[in-house]
Structure 1
Amino acid sequence: MVIRYHSEAPVNEGVVQPKIFIGRLIHSKSLNDLEIIPRAAIGVTPNGTIAFVDSKPATASQLQTRYAHEGFAHAQVTTLTKSQFLFPGLIDTHLHAPQWPNLALGMEGTLREWCENYTDPMEASYSSTSKAQRVYADVTKTTLALGSTTVAYNSSIHAEATNILADCALAAGQRAIVGKMCITVGSTHGNWEESAEVSLADSEKSVKYIRSIDPEGRLVHPCVQPRGGPYCPPELMRGLGEQCEKYRTYVQAHMCETQSDIGKL
């Protein structure tokens, strides 16, 4: 069960209203301390904020009365079955959104062979914004349904497609870190940019766009995203570092994933 965040949802909107969930609650209080509450209640506001956690819930109507002063007098109440439980959303720290159609393909080769035969041609195809819309709507919807409420997405070299990925995450109500992939050397099948200047300009374009659709950073955050050292010459890495400082963004990058990568540095 995924509780989605709706940043613009008014409290009095008919479809979106406060919710109370009653059932087993499982969460980690620390790295070594797992807490299981057999029966608890969680109150969630229309914008997705948890207003209360009650470890000794009563009936649904009593909970509505108890938390009426916080806006839950007419909250929608959901009681979980014995086989269900509530737990914090999963955090996926590394997901290549353009490679979504390649799931389970190319496992027979090395990482470099997989990049050349599967990754590069697939990522290059996101010059098509219609494909980006179709794939990215599916990846955000599916990962959220599977419990990943926060995802750090790797995108492709295309600014417009990257912006679509940010749009899809925001529309789905998923927290996301999104950035345009930067590649000028070392790639195949046309999956590279013509210069560091073009790469930096498109990266900045996406950073500004993502900031514009979620100015407060409630859900979607921009990042600068060099593919890795072997793919980004010094002037590109320097420029991305300057963008990071200027816009106070996150950074995503690949380190030395293989022996061949280490040899190129």
Structure 2
Amino acid sequence: MSLQNHNVASIARVYRGTFVHSTREVALNILNDFVLGVDSRGKIAFIQEGGNVDSLSQEWGFDTSDVQNLGQHEFFMPGMVDTHIHASQYTYTGTALDLPLLQWLETYTFPVESRFQDLDFARDVYTKVVKRTLRNGTTTACYFATIHTDASLLLGQIADDLGQRALVGKVCMDHNQMVPHYKEHLSESKDETLRFIHELLQKEYPHVKPVVTPRFAVTCSSSLLQALGEIARNYDLHIQSHISENKEEVEVVKQLFPDCGSYTDVYLRHGLLTHKTVMAHGCHLSDEELMVFHKSGASISHCPSSNISLMSGMLNVRKVLDHNVKLGLGTDVAGGYSPSMLDAVRRAMDNSKALTMRDARVQPLTFEEAFRLATLGGSEALSLDDQTGNFEVGKDFDALRVNVGVPGGPVDVFPGDDPKVILEKFLNLGEIPWRYHIFLHYIWIIYHTQFNTFLA
């Protein structure tokens, strides 16, 4: 396949080797000896079998001597998508995992987030978390910031400066019994949300957009939820929040919204459950609620690390998939102790196996399915699959170049290890990178496994 109009953009780069990605039909598609062309806009112009390179060079006007050939143990995979991460909680990542959700928020989260009115503090934290996630192969992230508008705008600027695709949300909350001083007035929350949206959109960042962000129903009045639903509809924006993470939280929501039939019904009635909505966790959703998710087109972000770390519960991923609900993975920093999506992949598989041990009728996730959740599944969950998630022609070349054969790396390769085995080893054994370089609008990330990221 190639673009119908070759004059749209010239070919900037051509790669030949192994490409692994997911499609809507299969969880893992391995393309051995394929050639992929990237045009000057960073879009995938073609991807065809390597034997066609000569005809492609004539058709597209590139020199075959300029083709970059991948090594024996190298492959390209799509950049990973973190569908739920709290950038503002990064300072205490890897600590403070001794309490359940609501007590954890009161003790650790809200006091730290209140500090983000200090823009110097915010700049330091947000720069570090964006760099860290990029160094871990996260080319797309859906961020919670805080209630502070200027700091949230700063997060968007930093993501753009460093080349990460991001949805950035200024948190909204006008009801907070846990830490009463950390909240906004209803009118302030609405006005500041509109200011955040207007100013971020005016920046015209190519890969950074606002996302409407009610923290969760526990901290938002019905009036605020209604207003945010209207804002999201009027501006055709993404929406993110939390749902059914913890049983105590579910009971609190029942008390706060007695007229609603379920936690899901709270968001549905307030116009916050759309095809551009991603809700984190969903551990305790009923079958009826999952049917509402499917009908509305809303998605779930599975956060297996924090679900265990905060003792919230375990999401039955198989049930979600059986209900044809869009599903991606999230690190949920800092409830999740690691900013690495590779960790999220591993924890997702562990969680599903734990559920199978409890109930043999539950089919555990395969590594191929977990790979899909971290890539194409995440882009679908964020309604960004028209731009990224796999190597389809016309999408951005948003990719990781992985070499598991680097001397001293965490992966040992043996004769007969084919690309599928190599991918599985990388997902289970890949490590955190030790240094990174930034060139123009492309991010090059060097792993112990020679892990490079290209974000067009």
Deviations 1:117-167 (A, max 9, x none): 221122111111122222222222222232222211111111011111111
1:96 aligns with 2:86: yes
| Counterpart selection for 1:243 from 208, 231, 234 | 231
Q: How many angstroms does 1:173 deviate by?
A: 2.4
Paired position in structure 1 for 2:22: 28
Paired position in structure 1 for 2:150: 160
CA 1:181–1:171: 2 relative to 1, 3 Å? same
| Counterpart selection for 1:45 from 39, 59, 62 | 39
CA 1:145–1:23: 2 relative to 1, 3 Å? farther
Give the secondary structure class of the aligned counterpart of 1:200. helix
Deviations 1:102-125 (A, max 9, x none): 211111221122212221122111
Q: How many angstroms does 1:262 deviate by?
A: 2.1
Give the secondary structure class of the aligned counterpart of 1:203. helix
RMSD (Å), alpha carbons: 2.6
Amino acid at match of 1:140: V
| Counterpart selection for 1:198 from 178, 188, 192 | 188
CA distance in 1, matches of 2:78, 2:97: 32
Amino acid at match of 2:157: D
Alignment gaps of 5+ in structure 2? 1-8, 254-456
CA contact (8 A) 1:22 1:78 kept: yes
Give the secondary structure class of the aligned counterpart of 2:47. strand
1:19 aligns with 2:7: no
Amino acid at match of 1:243: I
CA distance in 2, matches of 1:154, 1:75: 45
Report 1:1-265 matches (<5 A). Answer: 18-30=12-24, 32-57=26-51, 65-66=57-58, 68-69=60-61, 72-73=62-63, 77-186=67-176, 187-188=178-179, 190-193=181-184, 195-214=185-204, 218-265=206-253
CA distance in 1, matches of 2:120, 2:66: 37
Amino acid at match of 2:48: D
Q: How many angstroms does 1:264 deviate by?
A: 2.2
Identity among equivalent positions (%) equals: 29
Deviations 1:32-91 (A, max 9, x none): 3422122222222233211111321577xx58843543xx45996433222221011211
CA 1:150–1:260: 2 relative to 1, 3 Å? same
CA contact (8 A) 2:19 2:30 kept: yes
Give the secondary structure class of the aligned counterpart of 1:254. strand
Give the secondary structure class of the aligned counterpart of 1:38. strand
TM-score by length of 2: 0.49
Q: How many angstroms does 1:190 deviate by?
A: 3.8
Amino acid at match of 1:102: Y
CA contact (8 A) 1:98 1:156 kept: yes
Paired residues, number: 244
CA distance in 2, matches of 1:63, 1:123: 56
Larger mean CA deviation between 38-47 and 75-84 belongs to 75-84
CA distance in 2, matches of 1:76, 1:157: 49
